[in-house]
Structure 1
Amino acid sequence: MIPAKRPAAQPVRWQQSWREAVTDAGELLDLLGLAAHADSLLAAADTGFALRVPRGFVARMRHGDPRDPLLLQVLPQAAELGAAPGYTHDAVGDLAARAANGVLHKYHGRALLIATGSCAINCRYCFRRHFPYAQQTAAANHWDEALAWLRSDTSISEVILSGGDPLALATPKLVELSQALAAMPHVRRLRIHSRLPIVLPERIDREFTAWLAQLPLQRVLVVHANHANEIDASVEQACAALRAAGVTLLNQSVLLRGINDSVAALGALSERLFECGVLPYYLHLLDRVHGAAHFEVEPAQALAIVDGLRATLPGYLVPRLVREVAGAPCKTPVEHGAAMAQRDGIE
């Protein structure tokens, strides 16, 4: 007698993985065998920025290691509670750049839509950790105000989706937006900035890639990985699906003390990204948002690291070191002379 075939296992939908994220710091430490370190690792009071991390991302953390570079990106720590000179709630001048509800206009030819305030992971260094998403979301009222502004400014050739994380939106919502954008003759490119292909690769499902494949705009997706350990086989598969849909893949990282502040760590990240068909794009100096000062790497050290990358990697694998300066017309390249001036207090 031939045994009956077992039904194929159904893939876990990304929404389920989202709902099952770890939101309790004690549980996170228990999962990693670090419960005994709770007193030394955790903030003693509410930092005002909730913990949230998908379980698939937790699975990539090193068990028993309180200095794991993935853990330190998401774990609320006492250092977040102290005030630091020069650190503010709006580190990059987003509120001053508001052009319409949920629309930021900082740079010529580009407009950024705050698509949603939701994100699958709360990174402790996030420059929008204090952003008033409830009042500033472009998706409100079927994108009406944001789309009206985009139609009115024909200098905009590229629309950037940001958040939160724009891929927190269901694909039909993204379809609704993209149909309206494609009807604007002056809009040629759609750029999406998302951490989800890294932290929740299940989001890159067939419905999503089918939408991207048929989209009549140039498509760029900028993922956000800070360390090579963030990239496992599931992330590699998600990147392959995106490339197959005709998407150009770039990566941006933030230089973070104790996490990726070495030539070895960033070199390994660039190599791993390229294995997945992703080009390193930007390496950001930390945005000085309140609660993140313990992550800062000094510009002189950052430049030394980038020099080390240039000495060991092909040029196309070396990300450009930049910082965002409120009111500047573009991302500001960090160069040796400027870094020395800042160190000496000239700026």
Structure 2
Amino acid sequence: MEIQLQENWQRQIAKAVTSPTELAELLSLPPSWMKQHSAARELFPMRVPRHFVNLMEPGNPQDPLLLQVMPHAQEFIDVAGFTTDPLVESEATSAAGMLHKYNSRVLLIFRGGCAINCRYCFRRHFPYQDHHLSQEKWGAIEHYITQHPEVNEVILSGGDPLMASDAQIIKAAKRLAKLPQIKRLRIHSRLPIVIPDRLTPELAKQLKATGLQIVLVLHANHPQEISALLKRKISLWHQLGITLLNQSVLLAGVNDNADTLADLSEALFSASILPYYLHQLDKVAGAAHFEVSDETAFAIRAQLLKTLPGFLVPKLVREVGGEASKTPL
């Protein structure tokens, strides 16, 4: 059943599907199939925007988009090596709401919530309540940046930074643009994939007007996620000269084969988005069933190198807590 969407992005977030039973009905799946897994909502709530539901295949319990968001009984299984803080981010906090993990850039936890709750999220246990960005904290962050002249890039992350209003994002961008050392503002967001209407022309134009180099890093894992609506909405961002990149996570049952990832790269490039990173799974508690072995990952990369031009092959990486950069594999 296709859901008709004629509302702004905020209303689409408010009307996201949060019930496995409703999701089963929308996808013509037996409620009994959902019921056996729905208890995992206790560990991490379910939230799926209706645009993303529209991209799923009705009647297919193994749909790759569904598998990313459906609570699963396997989330209750404790697996050695999987923790609530897989990237040891608690040790990288330099000021409330800010992480300084890598030399030349700092990451701001700009918003705690997301439009969609992906079951493999490495921050599904993150204490967002301790990282709310108040006016006082902004002052501390600006002071920290000025005391670290090596920092020339700020990353807005979360949660999802595009959960903030256009006005809030522009206000932050203008504050950062006043710091002479800052060259780039990078925004990491899955929201445009799951609700393309979030890509408002006003936000794109005002970000560009700050004079900062703007980089939008999207998060899509499967070619089904690259919708016609996304292509239409993101075209202005491309026309304005905003750099568009994508990072994916290698996920068992979702995209752990070369054909799917090759199709994803082609779909991304057709939307003027360059593949950037292909991440090995961060070992977060509750997501072990998504893990793909390094051996399989290497075989997939080898096939991609044979199939695609080099600029469409994402870098295969793993993030290791405490390391000075992502680790190429």
TM-score normalised by L of structure 2: 0.95
Tell me what 1:324 maps to. Answer: 319
Tell me what 2:7 maps to. Answer: 12
What's the CA shift string for 1:75-125, capped at 9, x where partnerless? 000010110000000001111100001110111111000101111000000
Q: Could you tell me whether the CA contact under 8 Å between 1:37 and 1:66 is conserved in 2?
A: no
Equivalence map 1:106-117=2 (5 Å): 106-117=101-112
Q: Could you tell me whether the CA contact under 8 Å between 1:254 and 1:283 is conserved in 2?
A: yes
Q: 2: distance between equivalents of 1:242 and 1:37?
A: 43
Q: 1: distance between equivalents of 2:19 and 2:57?
A: 18
Q: 2: distance between equivalents of 1:141 and 1:245?
A: 33
Tell me what 1:308 maps to. Answer: 303
Q: Where does structure 2 lack aligned partners over 5 or more consecutive residues?
A: none
1:84 and 2:83 equivalent? Answer: no
Q: 2: distance between equivalents of 1:291 and 1:50?
A: 13
| Offset, 1:268 | 0.4
TM-score normalised by L of structure 1: 0.91
Q: Could you tell me whether the CA contact under 8 Å between 2:192 and 2:199 is conserved in 1?
A: yes
Q: From the superposition, tell whether residues 233 and 94 of structure 1 become closer, same or farther in structure 2 (CA, over 3 Å).
A: same
Alignment partner of 1:28: what SS?
helix
Q: Where does structure 1 lack aligned partners over 5 or more consecutive residues?
A: 1-9, 335-347
Alignment partner of 2:115: what SS?
coil
Q: Could you tell me whether the CA contact under 8 Å between 1:42 and 1:76 is conserved in 2?
A: yes
Tell me what 1:166 maps to. Answer: 161
Tell me what 1:63 maps to. Answer: 58
Q: Could you tell me whether the CA contact under 8 Å between 1:115 and 1:162 is conserved in 2?
A: yes
- Determine what percentage of the aligned residue pairs are the same residue: 49
1:253 and 2:244 equivalent? Answer: no
What's the CA shift string for 1:207-253, capped at 9, x where partnerless? 21221221210111100000000111111112212112221001000
The one of 262, 273, 282 equivalent to 1:278 is 273
Alignment partner of 1:119: what SS?
coil
Aligned residues between the structures: 325
Q: Could you tell me whether the CA contact under 8 Å between 1:54 and 1:121 is conserved in 2?
A: yes
Q: Could you tell me whether the CA contact under 8 Å between 2:21 and 2:31 is conserved in 1?
A: no
Equivalence map 1:1-347=2 (5 Å): 12-38=7-33, 42-139=37-134, 141=136, 143-334=138-329
What code does the residue aligned with 1:324 have?
E
Q: From the superposition, tell whether residues 46 and 276 of structure 1 become closer, same or farther in structure 2 (CA, over 3 Å).
A: closer
Q: From the superposition, tell whether residues 141 and 245 of structure 1 become closer, same or farther in structure 2 (CA, over 3 Å).
A: farther
| Offset, 1:148 | 2.5
Q: Could you tell me whether the CA contact under 8 Å between 1:138 and 1:145 is conserved in 2?
A: no
What code does the residue aligned with 1:276 have?
A
Q: Could you tell me whether the CA contact under 8 Å between 2:318 and 2:326 is conserved in 1?
A: yes
| Offset, 1:147 | 2.3
| Offset, 1:139 | 4.9
How large is the Cα RMSD of the aligned pairs? 1.5
Q: 1: distance between equivalents of 2:35 and 2:41?
A: 15
Q: Could you tell me whether the CA contact under 8 Å between 1:115 and 1:139 is conserved in 2?
A: no
Q: 1: distance between equivalents of 2:105 and 2:82?
A: 27
Q: 1: distance between equivalents of 2:39 and 2:158?
A: 29
Q: 1: distance between equivalents of 2:192 and 2:57?
A: 20
Q: Could you tell me whether the CA contact under 8 Å between 1:61 and 1:70 is conserved in 2?
A: yes
What code does the residue aligned with 2:132 have?
T
